[in-house]
A and B are shown apart, each in its own frame.
Chain A
Amino acid sequence: MGKTISEKIISEHVGRDVRPGEFVVARVDVVMAQDGTGPLSVQELKKMDMERVFDKRNSILFIDHASPSPRKELSNAQKLLREFSKKTGAFLSDVGEGVCHQRLVEDWVNPGNLVVGADSHTCTSGALGAFSTGMGSTDIALAFALGKVWLKVPETYKFIVKGKLPDGVYSKDIILHIIGKIGADGATYKAMEFEGDVIENLSMSSRFTITNMAVEAGGKTGLIGTDGITKSYLKKRGRGNKFREIKSDSDANFEKLFEIEANKLEPLVSFPHTVDNVKGISNIEDVKIDQVFIGTCTNGRLEDLRIAASILKDKKRHPDTRLIVVPASREVFLDALREGLIEIFLQAGAAVESPGCGPCVGIHKGVLADGEIVLSTQNRNFEGRMGNPEGFIYLSSPATAAASAIEGKIADPRRYLK
């Protein structure tokens, strides 16, 4: 019997054929932690007297969650990561360089890789045909030192997205639709593979938005087979030679199959406090918004900023609605600057912040007041996620977020399409 993408990649990294349900120890290609989870990994390696990394270039510490640091306690935790990097040679991606998941796809991950990270959204890289999954600090500590992890091989769910995406509907709406349909634990433990003509026509940027949110349905990873779009992305990133064809075999076993008709989709919004609480824009009445946030590993890429800027051009944010824009990486920021997008945001009344996770993690750069409502392009709307359990988080595409910033309430972006 054939194999799914996950089964192929894990088999290659174990050195024999593996099947779903098996516990295995696998070799890894890329290992990372961030400033929230990394300090614990470093402390554990210190305790074990194992302060070393298996591969300097591919053991990475990202300072993105509280970046630049707003508090001395966090600064001290970050210092620990910088010292570890100096001592072991682990790669350091410091303040201002961007969100780990965006940086990983820009400069590290290749098709067929096995990637582990101490961050739940590590599944993002799966759009490059890599098996990429989030773990805890202990797993990652040992992966840094030994270059190995223990895994249970997951079963795979396949999602086939067919038809044509209507105007004003984006990959964010596709993944919100899927999570709304199967539930926040609808794919717990499973690998989620996405395919179909809609997926084939998406840019890499849009694909990353989909795999980024696999964990919001409980998935172990999100995966998309490689094709010409993957190839030209890697080429542009200077890694054209790292391209390889990787797809599930036609006789691979999928535990479940889901079909999604893209033609029927409309812009969607996820309501508080669970990601699967999804409503269509046509069913939403008058939700006033105190803050709009455009950015994150889900939707802070150049394509996202272009879409938001096209709506905000020559317009102002609503006087009662704050607008915060955070490019996902330094490179995204630079490109947006050169294209004039940053000027559009500033003219529209936005606060543009340095690359990183921004207010999504609830530590800095836009913590909500009691009772306030935010519409964000991030991936998660749990109670307390943005630093205040008395706040309310709604999730949407950058287009819906931009239109809502103008109107001061949740708004249909299709009214603003030219």
Chain B
Amino acid sequence: MELSRRQLAGVILAGTAAAQAPAPQPPTTTQSADTELETARSARRTAAQIIARVPLPMTVEPAFQFKA
């Protein structure tokens, strides 16, 4: 994987084809392990909230298939 979650989060917040201001970047200071973990968990939650906003009909299945 190449793009960091912060960079990907920036892509999301920057919107799509319309020109928008780039997302503000988080501070780049060194953090403790616990803070890093909470930051990572927070990024996960943010990603989930963003994905939850995508309209998703019940009939759409995941992009993998099991075959017997």
**A, B assembled together:** no
Which B residues are closer than 8 A to A by beta carbons? none
Which A residues are closer than 8 A to B by beta carbons? none
